[in-house]
Structure 1
Amino acid sequence: MGGADPVGAALPSAALPSAVASHAVASSAVPSSALARCMTIPAERFAAEYWSKQPLLTPATESGADYTDLIDTAAIDELLSRRGLRTPFLRIAKQGKVIPAREFTRSGGLGARVSDQVADDKVLGLVADGATLVLQALHRNWPPLMRFGAVLNAELGHPVQINCYLTPPQNQGFAPHYDTHDVFVLQVLGRKRWVVHRPVLTDPLPGQDWEQHRAAVAARSAEPPLLDFTLQPGDALYLPRGFIHSAMAHGETSIHLTVGVHPVTRHTLLKHLLADAAGESSLRASLPLGGDLADEARLADQLRETVQAFVAFAGAGRLPQVAGRLADELADSTRPDPIEPMAQLAALAALTPSAGFRLRPGLRVRLERSPDAVLVKAIDTSLSLPLSAESALKLVLSGEPVSAAGLPGLDDEAALALVRRLLTAAILVPEHSA
């Protein structure tokens, strides 16, 4: 942490504990965006002062935020009772322990050959007994949060996941722990007390979870907290990965959203460089024969030569390869806006040169050029198209509305054929559906 104040240098609000700084600017100065709903300071300031560094509390008294349009009790009832929800889209915990899925699921019945469909009556009993519900990955199946998550992902550049926590009065869902991703906590209903401690491991990576440091986490949690405050409806809290936290509902049921931001790190870039390093002969060389290979004095020269070879390898035009691997990883961890398959088929059937289309929102697409073709890559799709389509594809990938008649470098027949292939692959969507 470098000795920096963990909650910033602004004066604390009189309505908050003195340890918690709050920040606000005029709402008219903040653009309408998903990120702006999580804070009131400008995005540039958040990026410079808070991202991956320190917590930030944004009280509803300053932001005027209300998150009930994203989810509420009626939405939770809908998800639990009418959406055929299955594990792992629901987890349930009580007093820090995860409840086995068999205690809140059962067979889907005739026509549904699944054994883990959420049983709403079992859920009711567990919640009445004080258990916490965790509705997971709602950015995948609840439309308001699908839209919110897609916009936030585009603004941050890092993949996001959205969970909803419902905690009965006076109950704690999970013991003090830390996450290996950053989070925005958006309090929807009720009140929840949060206790936050400094990290025992700064910037933990996936695979460096808190259970590996259970004793250190328990010891740190017994110390005076860094922050101890109660989130009210409309309050938002940003916590960087590694900060230890626990939460307990007050005298009413608490509902909050946890927006997890899974950061792309420098370790990620090293991982992709190492994946390519197997193709470099100097990095495949065997160590010399004889003696103790683990002897530090002997190993020092080999390690120095290896680092020098790796630096030379990494600097030898590796950017396209790393960018391609990172693009594949991001495409695999995020999802574009949903399509309407019947609408796509109707658009194909009624295709005309003047019909309008645009790139599917949220879709990560890249072009790769070979001597005789252009490859269009998106998620698990790869289309090989003639070089004559390159200019048209670049226009499509710009995100601007397009029509077959407006595609450069192609005659009418070739332009219609290109649009048809891109529609079939769900890379283009009808303009009215975007």
Structure 2
Amino acid sequence: MHPLVERFAALARLSQVQEQPSPAHLPGLGKCAPFTAVTAAEVEGVIGRHGLRSEQVVVTRHGVVVPAAQYTATARIDRVPLPGVVRHAALFDLVESGHTLALPGCELWLPGIAVLCDQLRSALAQPVLAGLFLTPASETGLSVHTDAYDVLAVQTTGSKRWRVFAKRPEPVRNAPVDVSDEPVLDVVLQQGDALFVPRGCPHVASAESFSLHVSLGVQAMTAREVLVAAMRSATLSADLDAPMPYREVGDLNDRRAAVLRRASEALLTGLSSDQADRVYQALSSSTTTAPSPGRLRRLESAAEMTDSPSWPGTAP
């Protein structure tokens, strides 16, 4: 396991049981692969090589999100319209004018980051996301906000000042927050530094210089999500599909309550058994797992061996 993933997992476990968790500055822990490979040239190459769609790009400045129509267009592939394709020139024009570029799901194009996501997902048995943020010097992409997940930010280029405030209740992803208190942590991340921000802690980051950072987030599944997924599982008790009683003479509420009580007991019994593993696995799994390098090359090599002519003196 990558040392930074191990440290992040430990901090996330601790923050989940603390009433008032603390952010943590981790200087120098990101001065290693795969973060050293996340450079401006690599990001520009990713944007240029891949036909990014509007869902894969977010552009902001001072908390205001730029409508995707300003940097996307409809492309055509064999006369089939493909809406929401990013126009690279328009995107870079916005960055040059001071806007922050965010690429959620960056593990799709950065195999090393995908490996870290897999390790973190395995360590915590929770959904994991990754994002890449590019901010011009002296600019702020998002205003003070909270995230509904624990975050590890790793500075890969330049420097960025982070101010983190005490945790608020009921965190909502990217929800703006009014803060009048002093930050509990005010730190400038340099290249290779990392920062842990607990779920629900308001924070704001401003670039001191041209800045690139990668964020890993643990989106802890909620009890509601688990219960909904469990109720949809075909492996659980048939009591969950019991019909609700018709109205007739007698206390309808009592009969309804009896049916719901049996269903609830069946649901909890199912969640405490091995059947629950499939529910948790489905919620924590991802379609963006780390790639397995060399598979196409091995396929090509196998085809070359099959198609190659026999040597003299050997059987055809």
* 2:60–2:141 CA contact under 8 A, matched in 1: yes
Matched, 1:274 2:241: no
SS of structure 1 residue aligned to 2:108: coil
Amino acid at match of 2:70: E
Q: Partner residue of 1:9? A: none
Q: Deviations over 1:293-342 (max 9, x none)?
A: 8xxxx88x976984576235522686233222333333455535347346
Matched, 1:50 2:15: yes
Amino acid at match of 1:230: V
The 1:47/1:117 distance shift into structure 2, 3 A limit, reads closer
Q: Partner residue of 1:78? A: 45
Aligned match of 2:60 in 93, 115, 123?
Answer: 93
How do 1:153-232 residues align onto structure 2 when only pairs under 5 Å count? 153-202=121-170, 204=171, 209=173, 211=175, 217-218=177-178, 221-232=179-190
Aligned match of 1:233 in 191, 196, 207?
Answer: 191
Matched, 1:243 2:198: no
Q: Partner residue of 1:263? A: 220
Higher share of residues assigned strand: 2
Higher relative contact order (CA 8 A, sep 6+): 2
Range 174-183 or range 318-327, more displaced: 318-327
SS of structure 2 residue aligned to 1:270: helix
The 1:55/1:139 distance shift into structure 2, 3 A limit, reads farther
* 2:115–2:290 CA contact under 8 A, matched in 1: no
* 1:149–1:160 CA contact under 8 A, matched in 2: yes
Amino acid at match of 2:239: E
* 1:38–1:236 CA contact under 8 A, matched in 2: no
How do 1:246-325 residues align onto structure 2 when only pairs under 5 Å count? 246-250=204-208, 252-275=209-232, 279-280=238-239, 284-286=243-245, 306-307=260-261, 310-311=264-265, 313-315=267-269, 319-325=273-279
* 1:52–1:182 CA contact under 8 A, matched in 2: no
The 1:269/1:238 distance shift into structure 2, 3 A limit, reads same
1:94 and 1:317 map into 2 onto residues whose CA distance is: 44
* 2:23–2:185 CA contact under 8 A, matched in 1: no
Amino acid at match of 2:291: D
The 1:159/1:64 distance shift into structure 2, 3 A limit, reads closer
* 1:189–1:254 CA contact under 8 A, matched in 2: yes
Q: Show structure 1 runs of 5+ residues with no match.
A: 1-32, 352-434
CA RMSD of aligned residues (A): 3.7
Q: Partner residue of 1:132? A: 100
2:204 and 2:216 map into 1 onto residues whose CA distance is: 16
1:240 and 1:172 map into 2 onto residues whose CA distance is: 20
The 1:309/1:90 distance shift into structure 2, 3 A limit, reads closer
SS of structure 2 residue aligned to 1:319: coil
Q: CA deviation at 1:78?
A: 0.3
Task: Using structure 2 for the length normalisation, give the TM-score.
Answer: 0.77
* 2:115–2:289 CA contact under 8 A, matched in 1: no
1:148 and 1:181 map into 2 onto residues whose CA distance is: 17
Amino acid at match of 1:275: R
Q: Show structure 2 runs of 5+ residues with no match.
A: 307-316
Count of paired positions? 299
* 1:69–1:144 CA contact under 8 A, matched in 2: no
Amino acid at match of 1:50: S
SS of structure 2 residue aligned to 1:315: helix
SS of structure 2 residue aligned to 1:200: coil
